[in-house]
Amino acid sequence: MRKLWEIINIPRSIPALLMYRHLSCQNEIREDLLRNGGNGSWWNLHRELLRSTVARKIFYYRTNQHAPVLTKLSKILYRPFESMEIDADSIGGGMQVFHGYSTIVFARSIGKNFTVYQQVTIGRGKKLTEMISRLSETMSRFMQVPSLLEALRLARMLQLAQVLW
């Protein structure tokens, strides 16, 4: 019965399989599949996309850098894993995630064979880092305020930062 379900769903995987076959990130995706117990074939990718939301998230991270339009199409056919965030300039092949719930990975670069478990946060997001630096600049100016009017303006900025945060 499972085999029939996999065969019926092959058309759903066509955009993902085309990306796998033709994008330059094919080696990293193959290494991910091999590290997670597969054999790196197109059938292995199809089964992982069908069964594992975490595998989808890793696949979308890899392909979005090279083919964002096809990645969006694949996300319509295979719903992405929303409880996991990956934002890195580069992650080497062989990424393995166990139970990716509430897992956040923000980094400039991560090497090969990276493993992460559930509810782990690595790094801070770019937006959060920018917001913290702006907030610290505002706080340092607030400490050296020459007038009451300037103090009120800075206090209003802090309230807005709190709402955005």
Domain of residue 139, residue span: 128-164
Based on the domain organization, do 116 and 133 belong to the same domain? no
> Could you read off the pLDDT of 151-164 as tens digits, one per residue?
666 666 666 555 55
Q: pLDDT tens for residues 42-82?
A: 999 999 999 999 999 999 999 998 999 989 989 999 998 88
Asked whether residue 29 falls in the same domain as residue 101, the answer is yes
pTM across the whole model: 0.73
Looking at the fold, whether 96 and 48 belong to one and the same domain comes out as yes
Q: What is the DSSP letter of 118?
A: T
pLDDT in tens, 90-132: 899 999 999 888 888 888 889 999 999 988 888 876 666 665 5
Q: Does one domain contain both 63 and 135?
A: no
22 to 8, 18, 41, 80, 85: CA distances (angstroms): 23, 6, 14, 21, 25
| Judgement on whether residues 118 and 133 belong to the same structural domain of the protein | no
Domain boundary among 123, 139, 156: 123
